[in-house]
Amino acid sequence: MRRGLAALGATLILTGGTAGCTDDGASSTNAEPSGTPTSEAPTSPPTTTPSPTSPAPSSEEAEVVGGTAAAPAPVEPSTRLLEWSPVPQPATSTVTRGGPWTLTVNESSTLATFEGKRWRARFVGSERQRVSDAMIRGDWGVVVFQDEQETRPAEAHVVRLGAQSGRFTVDGSSDVPTTTGGTWALGEGTLVHATIGPRASYCLATVDLGTRASERTWCAERRHGYNGAQITPAGTSLMTFDDQQPSCRTVAQVSGHDLDPFEGVEDCLGWEGVLTGDGAVWSVVPKQTRVEAAHYYARDGDEYFDLGPGTSGTLVWCAGSAYFAQDPLRDGDPARLLRWTADRALEVVYETQGRGPAFLTEPRCGGDQVTVTALGKSGDEQVTAEVG
């Protein structure tokens, strides 16, 4: 988000104005359906309620059979809680762990610290900067600072973990420059970020961290934007959208300079997605008036699976599985972290303690460990578990 306007932003503003913003007009998409007072109220939770007591599937169990894109097979999650360890940092900070490394962003997002045995690197932004993204993957760590009000290009500090050399910066002066705000993602030796291309188009840039070579790849159509970039061994994905109200949102795979929409995703309702070995995991947000209430799906080959409700903006790929958070489905239920594994298992791997209200923030993957922050009436905690 920004106060300053990038070139493409100006395009979007113009079109947004014609869609009803500049005269304060309420768009038709804001309209509540006429009728009962509950017409815009959230619906009851779907029936794919996880059973905390259901046993974990054994290897002898028959493989889960999927459905079609139109009728994906519902999958009941089993509970297979991971061995979670609390991180020493307070829950107000944001921690990511990977291998021997711990990355901590302080509460005010002014400081990011990488720590390992006998090695430490601290990144403090200038007076007018703040950490917007901080990631670990393999031997690499990245801290992104955004400028105050996002009027200047973002600045990413790339560090080879444990090494005394090999640091470099990706910023507005790079061969393929950064822009203000936008999505960032870190894969094994690869970094992607937003950039501005020809004729003010909004494009994706890929940085090979080993060679430091940058390349502008796919560019969004005119009057389109994108976010939610994710890198897995199967490729890079993102969500692109147009400037309509509501936006038509499409989850897609980046293939060089092209974009291939995920198969089987309901038109215009996609929110985020990751590529798996021979498929994908994604979410849709069906109701404009409940933007945080997503529904997750998976495809494996030609088979489709209904993974149930989850929280939008929480999908993360980590060590061969896709993780996402789920708010309590019933009063008194815990908030949960679920994962969809390569062998078609949907597992509850973390639950909040106590019966009070709770929710999870976006999980963080450091390659072989996943870290999650839970905020709840019974207490806040930040815990990590080995998954690799």
Partner 1 sequence: MSRVRKIAIGAFAALLVATPLIPRGDEPDSAIRPSGERETATPRAPGPGGLTAAMRREIDRVVAAGKQVGAMSARQSPTELASNLVRCAEFEGQRYCLHTGWTAQTETAVRTRVTTATRSLRLSGPAAVETTGDLDLVDTLRREAALSPTERAASERAELTAAARSVAKVILLRHEIQGAPLPAGFDTRFPDAGLTARTSTTQTKTAADYPAVGKVLRGRRTSAQQRTYWCGPTTMQMIAWGWHRERKTQGHWAGRLGTTSSGTAITDMVRVVNESTGYDRERRAGQYITLDISDWSFKEWSLLNMRHIVDYRAPLVLHPILIKRYYPYLDDDASGHFQVGRGYDKNGSGPLKIGYFEPWNQQRFDPSEPFIARVQWRDAYRSYRANRAHFQHNIGV
18 sits near partner 1 (criterion: CB under 8 A)? no
Tokens of 165: 């050399």
Stretch 100-159 residues interacting with partner 1 (CB under 8 A)? 108-110, 125-130, 132, 146, 148-150
Tell me, residue by residue from 19 to 58, as one string, x for binding to partner 1 by CB under 8 A and - for no binding: --xx-xxx--xxxx-xxxxxxxxx-xx-------------
Tokens of 198: 């020809």
Stretch 54-83 residues interacting with partner 1 (CB under 8 A)? none
Q: How far is the CB of 146 from partner 1 (least distance, A)?
A: 7
Stretch 203-222 residues interacting with partner 1 (CB under 8 A)? 220
89 sits near partner 1 (criterion: CB under 8 A)? no
Q: How far is the CB of 255 from partner 1 (least distance, A)?
A: 21
Q: How far is the CB of 335 from partner 1 (least distance, A)?
A: 10
288 sits near partner 1 (criterion: CB under 8 A)? yes
Q: Which residue lies nearer to partner 1 by CB, 300 or 327?
A: 327
Amino acid residing at 309: P
Stretch that binds partner 1, among 54-62, 80-88, 273-281, 309-317 (CB under 8 A): 309-317
Stretch 318-347 residues interacting with partner 1 (CB under 8 A)? 325, 327-331
Residues 125-140: b if buried by 16+ CB within 10 A, e if exposed? beeebbbbbbbbbbbb
202 sits near partner 1 (criterion: CB under 8 A)? yes
Q: How far is the CB of 370 from partner 1 (least distance, A)?
A: 16
Among 80, 222, 290, 355, binds partner 1 (CB under 8 A): 290
